[in-house]
Amino acid sequence: MIPIAKPWIGEEEKKEVEKVLDSGMLAYGEWVKKFENEFAEYVGVKHALSTTNGTQALILALEAVGVRGHEVLVPSFTFIASATSIIRAGGKPVFVDVDPRTFNIDPEDVRKKITERTKAIMPVHLYGQMANMDEIMEIAEEHALYVVEDSAQAHGAEWHGKKAGSVGHIAGFSFYPTKNMTTGEGGMITTNDAALAEHVAMLRNHGQTARYMHEELGWNFRMTNIAAAIGLHQLKKLDKANERRRANAKRYDELLGEKVITPYVDERAKHVYHQYTIRVNNREAVLDAFKREGIGFGIYYPRGNHQQPIMQKLGYTAKLPNTEKLCGEVISIPVHPLLSEEDVEKVAKTILSTQ
């Protein structure tokens, strides 16, 4: 079996977790603070605040910028958490179509959907390639909007040399096990804005401004030292893991480029291939071949958020032709750093046998 994803966990993570267990300090503490500091330095921001998962990272970021009662422009071609986090933060998602080449939010459609109620734009750096942040930031500045980067799939990705999570006003990351780095479960918020960082810190800790002084409705969304111990060593090898992903992607490009639509990479971006996603006309034939050969795959995503039953029940509808077309064509194939050269060639050969 060749899995679609596999976390790269070594002895260093295990030993660090043992240190935490031996210390008896399992909850939020020195390991978390060290992880936050090192993550902020890696991304190139002043503040990084950990949390329990990527969805909570987005919720906290959205709450901090004040989307309650306002609209947030977000692509529909993404995981459901991008939209539900807006709703949980008290905002209204307004679904935007995507560029069919990059799979990322289309700035022209963003412009069309801005209203007097719009508070923020949430570009999703899908599959590991950053959205067109030049145009997104320009639009945001023109209309005095916040930009909340959904960087859940983009650890180490870059735009003009700036890392995901450092370009917008605030960003959220996920450390789910399938991501480019993991803490088991966990998330991180990054920002250069001290006021936003302070607000997030308060919200994730029961709304406290001082011990037993609760100024706002908050929650316990704090990361544990156990999770941070894993994250510290995952961060150390993130660049190496991403380079392995990029090497696997380059080999796929060479093997598949003439037969299927391989990922388009914007020259301004550094793609880190959380997923290597191709487009085919005969998807079912490819899926059948993968099942026969024991090859993992993913359909990310079989329907847009605007087509999800819960969104339709809540009245969040849209007509998004690019999104709807992509949902019927995309397949994500194994690209993780633990693949062998033989694995990559087997995956490619299996795809080519169906074309």
Domain ranges of the chain: 11-236, 238-352
Give yes or no on whether 11-236 and 238-352 have one common fold: no
* Predicted pLDDT at 324: 98
- Would you call 46 exposed, middle or buried from its count of C-beta atoms within 10 A (0-12, 13-18, 19+)? middle
- Would you call 70 exposed, middle or buried from its count of C-beta atoms within 10 A (0-12, 13-18, 19+)? buried
* Predicted pLDDT at 190: 98
* Predicted pLDDT at 301: 97
Kindly give the confidence (pLDDT) of every residue in the chain, 355 residues in length, as a single tens digit, with 9 standing for 90 and above: 999 999 999 999 999 999 999 999 999 999 999 999 999 999 999 999 999 999 999 999 999 999 999 999 999 999 999 999 999 999 999 999 999 999 999 999 999 999 999 999 999 999 999 999 999 999 999 999 999 999 999 999 999 999 999 999 999 999 999 999 999 999 999 999 999 999 999 999 999 999 999 999 999 999 999 999 999 999 999 999 999 999 999 999 999 988 899 999 999 999 999 999 999 989 999 999 999 999 999 999 999 999 999 999 999 999 999 999 999 999 999 999 999 999 999 999 999 999 8
Element (H, E) at 292: helix 283-293
* Predicted pLDDT at 271: 98
Q: Which CATH number fits domain 11-236: 3.40.640.10, 1.10.357.10, 3.60.21.10, 3.30.420.40?
A: 3.40.640.10
CATH class entry, domain 238-352 = alpha beta
Task: Give me 313's structure tokens.
Answer: 């029940």
* Predicted pLDDT at 258: 84
